């Protein structure tokens, strides 16, 4: 069966048919999906009952897995439920029990409900993320995506000129501070040193410009903090207007792939007494968006 893609939203996001993500893909299938990602930026694959190993193998068709020496979270290696190469975005602890409402890891995870782009707090931010929905709560828990290319295109010319060369600082500490979680250890703060990212990116395949925003962004180089935070908040509000947002309602075994270079996303609320088991694989980006100067 040939691979086909149908739009899910007027601006971006598509649903793919004719792909079994459990099996090795041929070069033509990879090319169609890659071209689909360039066009739609978010692709949904339904009814993909993948194992962790199959999800990792599927992901590797599109690049190299992201791998860092420093953590992108506060959970210690010994407390992790899943093996290497796949990240746990569930509300479960290492024994498969629902996390306590007072668990620091839960506090940290709540920050994913702010708009962000995965790994924008890394010197080389992520290319694609692939999220597999294994167990889906009965209410809520949508993932929302915003098209940052469309958001950029809709800016007025004066703003486009003003932001063209701006550089922001991104850190996990800024996004966690925004929800009042400031109880970070010295070790965590060291791991969350801010990195620099361009505010306007150009997509390497399509040449389209996009706003590179995230709740991890907490400063603009050369600007005062209040001016920067207010401007970033204004831009985020602009970029996440409903016309630029696709809200994904999860069905069990959906696999959703998105391009972090062209979109932002956020998790939505659900009943924390129900299990949400979603697992993410992440592809490394091509390089830094700006010299780090650290």
Query: Which stretch in 62-70, 113-121, 139-147, 229-237 sits in contact with Fe ion by CB under 5 A?
Result: 113-121
Nearer to Fe ion, 148 or 163 (CB): 148
Cβ proximity of 69 and 43 under 8 Å:
no
Cβ proximity of 170 and 124 under 8 Å:
no
Q: Give every CB contact of residue 145 below 8 A, 6+ residues apart in sequence.
A: 12, 13, 41, 42, 245, 246, 247, 248, 258, 263, 264, 265
Nearer to Fe ion, 107 or 223 (CB): 107
Query: Which stretch in 12-20, 92-100, 118-126, 247-255 sits in contact with Fe ion by CB under 5 A?
Result: 118-126
Q: What is the DSSP letter of 189?
A: H
What tokens does 151 get?
């958001």
- Of 181, 152, 165, 180, nearest to 244 (Cα)? 152
Closest separation between CB of residue 231 and Fe ion, Å?
A: 23
Query: Which stretch in 15-23, 25-33, 112-120, 205-213 sits in contact with Fe ion by CB under 5 A?
Result: 112-120
DSSP helix/strand/coil, 149? helix
Query: Which stretch in 111-119, 196-204, 233-241, 256-264 sits in contact with Fe ion by CB under 5 A?
Result: 111-119
Backbone angles phi, psi at 261, to 5 degrees: -80, -15
Cβ proximity of 163 and 201 under 8 Å:
no
Closest separation between CB of residue 114 and Fe ion, Å?
A: 10
Query: Strands 128-135, 255-259: parallel, antiparallel or unpaired by DSSP?
Result: antiparallel
- Is 118 a residue that touches Fe ion (CB under 5 A)? yes
Q: Cβ-closest residue to Fe ion?
A: 118
Nearer to Fe ion, 19 or 256 (CB): 256
Nearer to Fe ion, 3 or 260 (CB): 260
Enumerate residues 221-240 that contact Fe ion by CB under 5 A.
none
Nearer to Fe ion, 48 or 143 (CB): 143
Q: Tell me how many residues contact Fe ion (CB under 5 A).
A: 1
Closest separation between CB of residue 1 and Fe ion, Å?
A: 31
Nearer to Fe ion, 20 or 112 (CB): 112
Q: How far apart are CA 138 and CA 227, in angstroms?
A: 41
Nearer to Fe ion, 29 or 118 (CB): 118
Nearer to Fe ion, 118 or 169 (CB): 118
Q: Which residue bears the tokens 């708009």?
A: 115
- Is 88 a residue that touches Fe ion (CB under 5 A)? no
Residues counted in the chain? 294
- Is 277 a residue that touches Fe ion (CB under 5 A)? no
- Of 26, 80, 4, 85, nearest to 50 (Cα)? 85
If phi > 0 it is left, if psi is from -120 to 50 it is alpha, else beta; for residue 18 that is left
Query: Which stretch in 7-15, 116-124, 134-142, 183-191 sits in contact with Fe ion by CB under 5 A?
Result: 116-124
Residues within the interface to Fe ion (CB under 5 A): 118
């Amino acid at each position: 069966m040939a691979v086909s893609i149908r739009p899910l939203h007027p601006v971006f996001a598509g649903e793919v048919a004719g792909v079994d993500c459990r099996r090795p893909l041929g070069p033509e299938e990879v090319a169609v999906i890659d071209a689909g990602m360039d066009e739609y930026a978010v692709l949904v694959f339904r009814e993909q009952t993948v194992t962790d190993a199959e999800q990792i193998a599927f992901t590797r068709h599109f690049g190299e897995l992201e791998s860092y020496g420093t953590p992108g979270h506060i959970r210690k290696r010994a407390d992790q439920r899943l093996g290497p190469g796949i990240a746990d975005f569930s509300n479960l602890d290492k024994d498969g029990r629902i996390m306590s409402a007072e668990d620091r890891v839960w506090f940290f995870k709540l920050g994913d409900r702010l708009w962000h782009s995965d790994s924008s707090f890394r010197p080389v931010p992520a290319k694609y993320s692939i999220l597999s929905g294994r167990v889906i709560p009965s209410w809520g828990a949508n993932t929302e995506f915003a098209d940052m290319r469309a958001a950029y295109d809709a800016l007025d010319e004066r703003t486009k000129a003003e932001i063209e060369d701006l550089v922001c600082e991104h850190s996990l500490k800024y996004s966690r501070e925004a929800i009042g979680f400031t109880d970070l250890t010295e070790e965590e703060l060291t791991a969350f040193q801010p990195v620099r990212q361009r505010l306007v990116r150009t997509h390497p395949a399509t040449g389209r410009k996009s706003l590179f925003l995230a709740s991890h962004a907490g400063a603009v180089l050369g600007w005062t903090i209040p001016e920067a935070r207010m401007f970033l908040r204004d831009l985020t509000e602009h970029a996440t207007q409903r016309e630029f947002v696709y809200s994904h309602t999860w069905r069990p075994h959906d696999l959703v792939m998105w391009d972090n270079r062209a979109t932002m996303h956020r998790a939505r609320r659900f009943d924390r007494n129900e299990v949400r088991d979603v697992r993410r694989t992440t592809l490394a980006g091509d390089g830094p968006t700006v010299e780090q100067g650290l």
